[in-house]
Each structure stands twice: as C-alpha cells, then as structure tokens.
Structure 1
Amino acid sequence: MKISVLTVSWNSAKTIRYTLDSFFAQDHADKELVVVDGASSDGTLDIVRSYPQSAIRLLSEPDKGMYDALNKALALSTGDAIGVLNSDDAYHDRSVLGRIARGLTSSDIVFGHLDFVASHTDKRIVRRWRGYPRPPNGFRSGWMPAHPTFYVRREVAERVGSFDLGLEVASDYDWMLRAVELFQFRTALIDHVLVDMLQGGKSTSGLRSHIVHNLEALRARQRWLRAGVIDYALIAKPVRKIGQFVSMPRRP
C-alpha cells in the first residue's frame, strides 16, 4: 500500500528537517511525501530539495493558507492512502507508516495517539492526546480523532472532497466529520503514539484559537449533523481535553 503524506509549509526552515527526517526514517517503503509550500523565503525549499527527490512531490507557489495548500496536496497525491504531517511535526517512531498500512488493510480510516511536545530536540511532553474508538454518537458526543494521526484510503478522500476554505482553523475537523459521519466508512484505532506535534501551532496557539476552533466546529456540526444553536459537543469537546494535561508521562 502506497501512502501519500501531505505536508504544507511556509517559512518552516526551523522545523521541517524534523518532519523530513521522520518521514525518511519510516520502515514502510512504499510512500511519497507531497510538499506544498507557500513560496517560502527562509530556506525551506533548499532544505526540502536536499532530500531524495524520488520520494518527494514538491510544489511552491503563493496560496490562500494552509487548507488551500492541503487541497493542492490532495490533488497531487498518488497513494492508496492519504494523511497529513505538518511541517513542524514529526512521526513518533519509525514504525508509524507501517502500522497505518496494516490498519488500513481492514479499515477505511485509522487514527491513533498523539503527543504534544515542547520541542523536537528533547521531546518533552506537555500534553498527550489518547484516542479511543468512535462511540455510537461520534462527533455529536464531543469525540474526535487527532487530525495529524488521521489516515484514510483514497476512496474516502475522493468521497469527502476538498477542505473548506471558509473555516479558519477547523477545516480539518470539518473534513474528518464528513469522512466519519456522512458515509459508512470503517474506522479503527491504532493503539500507539503516531505523531509528536509541536505545541503552539495555528489551532493550539492561544485562547482565541481554541475559541474560534470550537465555534467553527459547532458550525460544521450545524451544517452536517443539524446541531442546534448550542449542542452537547460544544461543552463536551473542550472538557474532554482537560485530561490531556494531567500526569504527563516520560517519553519511552
């Protein structure tokens, strides 16, 4: 199974080496990295071009933001399965893509655990996201997978379509909701940490981003699930995250 990993970047020279190193360290050989860059000016492209180009599909041009770049990356991808690895994130270990490929042999969608780290040098964990299987009410109950761990078979991506450019920080939530709730695709949890996510990204960088994300997520549920003006998930989704900050483990 060929896995397409989508990475969008813009002036990511400080972090993208960690992303690229973790991709090329994967023990699953059938893979491609689709890098869509927003015309960086800080050396990001020089770094990307220093890696084996036979495994990279690179496009650099101005874009309308992260989700516009992800739509371009989706169109460029050629794999049997598709997922996203942000340009400031890294795979947790070399087994990740192999675990994903095995999971997708019997499921249409897989997802797993995620660690938020303060840096990729010491891997100090500041928050941990532990996924669990989809409950009966799914997104209506406040459940959601961690998007950086969310991988789908190509037919899922083709059914779901593009990321919604009308959403500022929750288009990934909207995309996952459509994939899981609008179609009868099979989902499975991979009981393993898949990604080390650098704390402070666009959707985790402060109180405003959390508020905007939750309001945009509500809009998505109103659109696709006919949620009311206020629904259960509006409260349950942020409350579920409180436990992610408790009892930080040491990296094994």
Structure 2
Amino acid sequence: MKISVLTVTWNSAATVRHTLDSFFAQSHEDKELVVIDGASRDDTVEIVKSYPRDAIRLVCEPDEGMYDALNKALALHGGDAVGVLNSDDAYHDAHVLSRIASALREADIVHGHLRFVSDHATKRVVRRWQATPRPARGFRTGWMPAHPTFYVRREVAERVGPFDCTLATAADYDWMLRAVELHGYRTAMVDRVMVDMQAGGRSTASLGAHIRHNLEALRSRRRWLRSGAVDYALLAKPARKLGQFVRPRSAPGRPA
C-alpha cells in the first residue's frame, strides 16, 4: 500500500527538518511526501530540496492559506491512502506508516494517539491525546480523532472531497466529520502514539482560537448532522480534552 503524506509549509525552516527526517526514517517503503509551500521567504524550499527528490512532490507558489494548500496536495497525491503531517510535527517512531498500512487492510479510516510536545529537541510532553474508538453517536458526543493521526483510503478522500476553506480553524474537523459520519466507512483505532505535535497550532494557540474553533465545529455539525443552534457536543467536545492535560497511565508495552 502506497501512503501519501501531505505537508504544507510556509517559512518553516526552523522545524521542517524534524518533519522530513521522521518521514524518511519510516520503515514503510512505499510512500511519498507531497509538500505544498506557500512561497516561503526563508530556507524552507532549499531544505526540502536537500532530501531525496524521488520521494517528494514539491510545489512552491502562493496560496490562500493552509486548507487551500492541503486541497492542492489532495489533488496531487498518488497513494492508496493519505494523511497529513504538519511542518512542525514529526512521527513518533519509525513504524507509524507501517502500522497505518496494516490497519487499513481491515478499515477505511484509521487514527491513533497524539503527543503535544514543547519542541522536537527535548520532546517534553505538555499534553497527551489518548484516542478512543468511535462511540455509537460519533461526533454528536463530542468525540473526534486527532487530525495529525487521521489516515484514509484513497476512495474515502475522493468521496469526501476538498477541505472547506470558509472554515478558518475547523476545516480539518469538518473533513474528518464528513469522512467518518456520512458514508458508513469502517473506522479503526491504532493503539499507539503516532505523532509528536509541536504545541501552539492555530486552533489551540489562545482562548479566542479555542472559541472560534468550537463555534466553527458547531457550524459543521449543524450543516452535516442537523444539530441544533446549541448541541451536546458544543460542551462535550472541549470537556473531553481536559483529561489530555493529566498524565495517563501507560498500558503495558505501550509508550507513554
């Protein structure tokens, strides 16, 4: 199974080496990296070009933001499965893509655990996202997968279509909701940490960003799930994340 990994960059020279190194360290050999750069003004493009070119599709041109760039990447990818690795994130270990490929033999969509780290030099963990299997009512309960761990078969991506660029911070939430809830695809959880995500993304950078993200997520549920003006998930979704700031006990044989 060929896995396409989509990475959006813009002035990412300070972090993108960690991202690229973690991709090229993957034991799964049948893979490609699609990098969409928004005309960076630093050394990002030169750094990307310094890696093996036969495994990278690189486009460098102005875009209308991250989700517009991801839509370009979706249109270009050539894999049997696809997911996103942000330019300040890294795979947790060398076997993540192998586990994804294995899980996708029996499922259409997979996701797993996520660690938020202060930086990739120290890997100091500031938050842990412990994935759980999809509950019976899915997104209506406030449940959602961690987008950096979310991988789908090609047919899922083609059926779901592009990211909704009218959503400034919740287009990834909306895309996952459509993938999981609207078409009856099989969803599986990989019970391992998949990605180390550097803290400070647009949807988590401030209280205002949290509020905007949750209101946009409500807008998505109202559109696709026919939720009311205020629904259960509006409170349950942020409440579910409170436990991510408490260190969980590790399962035997599982990394913390």
- State TM-score, norm by structure 1: 0.98
2-structure distance, mates of 1:65, 1:56: 21
Partner residue, 2:41: 41
CA contact under 8 A between 1:163 and 1:175: conserved in structure 2?
A: yes
1:152 corresponds to = 152
Task: Tell me the number of residue pairs that the alignment of Structure 1 and Structure 2 aligns.
Answer: 252
- 1:98-113 mapped onto 2 (5 Å cutoff): 98-113=98-113
- Listed one character per residue, the Cα deviations across residues 103-133 of structure 1 (whole Å, up to 9, x for unaligned) are 0001000000000000000100000000100
- Equivalence for 1:79: 79
Distance 1:249 1:131 in 2: 14
C-alpha distance after superposition, 1:64-85 (max 9, x if no partner):
0000000000011000000000
2:195 matches 1:195 = yes
RMSD over aligned CA atoms reads: 1.1
2:181 aligns to what? Answer: 181
Residue 200 of structure 1: how far off its partner (Å):
0.3
Aligned to 1:215: 215
How far apart are the structure 1 equivalents of 2:32 and 2:150?
A: 17
Flag structure 2 segments of 5+ consecutive residues without an equivalent: none
SS in structure 1 of the partner of residue 197 of structure 2: strand
Residue in 1 that maps onto 2:232: 232
- 2:142 alignment partner in structure 1: 142
Distance across 2 between alignment mates of 1:143 and 1:86: 22
Distance 1:208 1:244 in 2: 19
Query: Contact 1:126 / 1:248 at 8 angstroms: preserved in 2?
Result: no
Runs of 4+ with deviation above 4 angstroms: 248-252
Identify the range of structure 1 (171-180 vs 197-206) with the bigger mean alpha-carbon deviation.
197-206
CA distance in 1: counterparts of 2:155 and 2:30, whole angstroms: 18
Secondary structure at the residue paired with 2:75? helix
* Cα drift, residue 248 of structure 1: 6.5
Q: TM-score, length-normalised on structure 2?
A: 0.97
**Corresponding position: 1:67 with 2:67:** yes
Residues 116 and 249 of structure 1: CA distance in aligned 2, closer, same or farther (over 3 Å): farther
Unaligned runs of 5+ in 1: none
Q: Deviations over 1:154-185 (max 9, x none)?
A: 00000000000100000000000000000010
Equivalent residue, structure 2, for 1:95 = 95
CA distance in 2, matches of 1:94, 1:249: 23
Tell me how far apart the structure 1 counterparts of residues 26 and 18 of structure 2 sit (CA, whole Å).
13
> Cα deviations across residues 117-153 of structure 1 (Å, max 9, x unaligned)?
0000010000000010000000000000000000000
Paired residues of 2:128 and 2:247 also in contact (CA < 8 A) = no
